[in-house]
Structures are given as structure tokens and as C-alpha cells.
Amino acid sequence: MFHKEGQTIILTTFFLVGACILITQFYLDIPWLRMTIQFLAIAILILTLQFFRNPQRIPIKSFDEILAPVDGKVVVIEEVLETEYFNDTRTQVSIFMSPINVHVTRYPISGKVRYSKYHPGKYLVAWHPKSSLENERTTVVINTPKFGDILYRQIAGAAARRIVNYAEEGENVQQGDDAGFIKFGSRVDLLLPLNVAIAVKLNQKVVGAKTCIATLIKDRDHDA
């Protein structure tokens, strides 16, 4: 299954690849060059389909866990001063998506959207320290029963040129549901309360709507 944000690009790529194969088949008389061009065209189609794939995932919904919003690798776990919404210190967990990862953004937890804002900006590489504040991005805050407000940011990278965000202020959202897409893009930051137990490590690969990112410390202590 493919994400709806890729439908136009997939259809356009399929048409261009088909046209390229037919034209080279009938009008190019150099066999090795014809086969090379056709191979590259098919490779481009496969990469496009790979990028816009949208595997269906049904999470075990829980107010006690914050799940990964995207597929990728954890590249940052640190305390930072968040100045756009909270104006206080939060625990930041950043997930980097490579071109081969699924780029669907999913709601990390159920709750009510309190804040949703798009910011135009630069296209620094996603691992640049200033990308969270200077790149094109969207910021979404969800109010939850146990964690209070949590924030996530979709951040465009050097190759990304469009962020799609479905979150609207005032709506109730469900953990694991489709929250948007980053076309050819690259990073999502979670800004969490300090009273959480981070359940992932640096460089760990995570799966959207599956991998637990954090739980409440008091819940962990109670279970112990």
C-alpha cells in the first residue's frame, strides 16, 4: 500500500518510465545504451514506490507509552530548552529518517491537539544542530491524560521540499494514526516532560507506531 501523498508522483513516474522504455526500445539502436537507460528508469520507479510505501500498522494503544512517530534511527537524546511553546526544559528525542525508511508520520500518543503550526525555513542537513530551529518544519502539541502536553516536530532536510501535517488544533487524535508525511525528508523531534523514562538508546533503530520511546518514571517505579 502506498501513501496518498505519493499518488501524483507515483503516477507521473510510472508514465515517464513507461514512455522512456518504449522510446528507447523502438528508437535507440545501441543495445547496451538502451538496456542501461531502461534499467535506470525501472530503478527510479522502484525507488519512488519504496519511498511512498505505507505499511498498515495497528498499535496496541496505551496512554502509558509514547510510541515512535516515524521509522528511523535515534540520533539525539538530551535535555534542551524548548522556546516555541513550553519555554522550559524538555527531554528531546530525535529520529533521523534515511531515504529508504518509511516517511509516514504517525501520532505518538492519543490526545487532543492543542497547537499546530508550520514554519518556513532553510534546508540544512537533518543532523545539523540548528536544523530543529532553522529548517522548514511543523510543530504539533498533543495534550494527553498522563504525560500532559507533548510536542513533536517534523523537520525537512537537505533534500526535503514539502512537509505534510494533518494535525488540526482542537481535534482528538489516536495513537498510531496517520499524522502526515515528509516528502524526501528527514527528521522528527519529540519534546517530552522530564518525568519520563526514555526507553530507547542512541543509534537504536525504531519503528513508527511500534517502538516505545518513553514511559512515565512513576509507572516504571511502581511496576518495580
The grid cell for 168 is 488540526
Would you say 197 and 203 are in contact if contact means Cβ atoms under 8 Å apart? no
Residue 221 sits at φ, ψ, to 5 deg, of -65, -35
Q: Which residues contact 99 (CB under 8 A, 6 or more apart)?
A: 47, 51, 159, 184
- Which residue in the list 94, 110, 132, 186 is annotated as catalytic? 186
Active site residue 98: no
Contacts of residue 65, defined as CB under 8 A and 6 or more positions apart, other chains included, come to 109, 199, 212, 213, 214, 215
The DSSP result for 76-142, as a single string, is EEEEEEETTTT-EEEEEEEEE--TTS--EEE-SS-EEEEEEEEE--B---TTSTTHHHHBSEEEEEE
- Residues 33, 51: Cα–Cα separation, whole Å: 27
Residue 49, classified by CB atoms within 10 Å of its CB into exposed (0-12), middle (13-18) or buried (19+), is middle
How far is Cα 140 from Cα 97, in angstroms, rounded to an integer? Answer: 19
Whose CA is closest to 210, among 35, 38, 109, 60?
A: 60
Active site residues: 186
